[in-house]
Amino acid sequence: MSNCGTRNSIIHGWTSPRLTRSLAGDGSGKACGIFREKSAVIPAFRRSESARAGDLVEAVTYSDDDDDENQGLEFPGGRVTFTPQMKFIAESTDNRVPCYRVLDNNGCPIPGSTFDQVDKETAVKMYRKMVTLQIMDTIFYEAQRQGRLSFYLTSTGEEAINIATAAALTPDDILFTQYREPGILLWRGFTLEEFANQCFGTKDGHGKGRQMPIHYGSKEHNFFTVSSPIATQLPQAAGAAYSLKMANKEACVVAFTGDGGTSEGDFHAGLNFAAVMEAPVMFICRNNGWAISTPISDQFRSDGVVVKGQAYGIRSIRVDGNDTLAVYSAVRAAREMVITEQKPMLVEFLTYRVGHHSTSDDSTKYRSSNEIEQWKTGRSPISRFRKWVERNGWWSDEEETELRKDARKQVLNAIQVADKTEKPSLEDLFTDVYDSPPSNLVEQEKSLRETIKRHHQDFPSDVPI
């Protein structure tokens, strides 16, 4: 096999939290977008010389005590105590892991619940954004049905997860989402125009028309571009968190996945590596019951996703994803732990995917309309939170009507404008493949432009040259 051993090389080992805290670094905590400053000093920690082949490593001393050895033994990985009883760990417990909830179905705080108090300004902002997200989803979905968009994917039923999570984080926290989390961008200030421009692939969009709809990305909002392959963002989030850890910032990485994503190999790799590297990343699983047409019963046989945390040595919690206050409090607490303890956390939100998987799906083919309706009207996170906000005297019917009317108008306007906006120009076909354009692409662009000049009438009129 490969014998390319390294001598005198400087290799980053995985540090313990103790070491990390003693390092100097740019702790200013100021926002610097997705890219750290290239010139930032990376603390040199644990430079190690790798052992030459054949050198003995420090031997582990084992206890010679006979009595001791009958009680337990230090195997690789730690000491275990012995038992003469042959006992299997049951594949499931009688009681499932309980689910943290603050507000009941009527939006009343459950007596004895612990949660972070939310002030009027934050609560109203959260509610407004949840409604806006819902309206944005409805209208964009319709636009696709009308043929104005090629594709769309809604977050219907998961507005609380989207908005309350975003509210609980800071702008410095870095997002690696799946695709059902645009509410986070909405909270952070991404405008309806920007959403529309990405979906319509216009020249004003950040994406330069490179990606299919809903694959948003924003450097200034610390939101990594949505990537289609499922769960690939999980080990990437761990890697980014590793890099963040070295930067010693008071921020964390947050990575989303659905219930389906937990069946991917990358889920295992991402969580396992994050645990071993003690990377400051919060893994959030939106367990919404369906992975396209695959129900939970076909997805895994464990007690959901929360129990998988312990398998990796990761602290975890199960939360009612349709309870805005529970989501907010849990994310705030988890974030605190991730940052101070510099280790990963796993949060499982139980919720329901009210909409179809995407515009390419008709979920009535594999689930009953009754089930959908029950969750849509009977257990809407928006209605539940609205009741709490209204009960506090912070919201009224008039404001509701006005909000819905305004949001609808703004979304429709954004779509109309984007639909008419110019598409990206020809040069955007060739840029960004590499950092600087290679000679073959330069030649191809030149050749293409010459062809267009000669056969102008054959070239599509809606592509600006």
In the beta sheet, which residues pair with residue 296? none
52 near other proteins, rule: CB under 8 A:
no
- Phi/psi region, residue 142 (left: phi>0; alpha: psi -120 to 50; beta: rest), is alpha
Q: Is 398 a catalytic residue?
A: no
The 8 Å CB, 24+ separation contacts for 71-80 are none
- Residue 12 is among the residues annotated as catalytic for this protein: no
Tell me the window of 146-154, 326-334, 404-412, 428-436 that interacts with other proteins (CB under 8 A): 428-436
Q: Is the CB of residue 463 less than 8 Å from the CB of residue 423? A: yes
In whole angstroms, the minimum distance from the beta carbon of 16 to other proteins comes to: 15
* Spatial CA neighbour of 162 closest among 391, 324, 280: 324
Which among 121-129, 157-165, 230-238, 378-386 is the span making contact with other proteins, rule CB under 8 A?
230-238
Burial 162-172 (b: 16+ CB within 10 A, else e): bbbbbbbbeeb
With both helix axes pointing from N to C terminus, report the angle between 324-341 and 381-391 in degrees, rounded to the nearest 10: 100
Gap between the terminal Cα atoms of the chain:
53
User: Which residue, 237 or 415, is less far from other proteins as judged by CB?
Assistant: 237
Query: Residue 217 or 261: which CB sits closer to other proteins?
Result: 217
379 touches other proteins by CB under 8 A: no
Question: Which of 16, 22, 150, 228 is the catalytic position?
Answer: 228
For residue 251, report the phi and psi dihedrals to the nearest 5 degrees.
-155, 165
Quickly tell me which residue has 């051993």 as its tokens.
5
Smallest separation, CB 94 to other proteins (Å): 34
Residue 298: both structure tokens together? 């076909």
Of 6-35, binders to other proteins (CB under 8 A) are 6-13, 34-35
69 is catalytic: no
Going by C-alpha positions, the residue among 398, 400, 370, 366 that lies closest to residue 382 is 400
Helix ranges (H only) for 93-213 are: 120-145, 159-168, 182-188, 192-200
Residue from 136, 185, 237, 306 touching other proteins (CB under 8 A): that is 237
Task: Give the Å distances, CA to CA, from 418 to 116, 193, 216.
Answer: 40, 7, 15
Of 213 and 270, which CB lies nearer to other proteins in the complex structure?
270
- Span interacting with other proteins, options 153-161, 243-251, 294-302, 330-338, rule CB under 8 A: 243-251
Among the listed ranges 21-29, 89-97, 212-220, 314-322, the one in contact with other proteins (CB under 8 A) is 212-220
The stretch near other proteins (CB under 8 A) out of 180-188, 222-230, 306-314, 369-377 is: 222-230
Query: By C-beta, is 34 or 417 nearer to other proteins?
Result: 34
DSSP 237: H
Look up 228 and say whether it is catalytic: yes
Q: Does 412 bind other proteins (CB under 8 A)?
A: no
**Residue ranges binding other proteins (CB under 8 A):** 1-13, 34-36, 38, 40-42, 44, 48, 50, 174, 176, 206-208, 210-211, 215, 217, 219, 224-225, 227-229, 232, 234-244, 246-247, 265-266, 268-270, 272-273, 428, 431-435, 438-440
Could you list the active site residues? 142, 228, 357-358
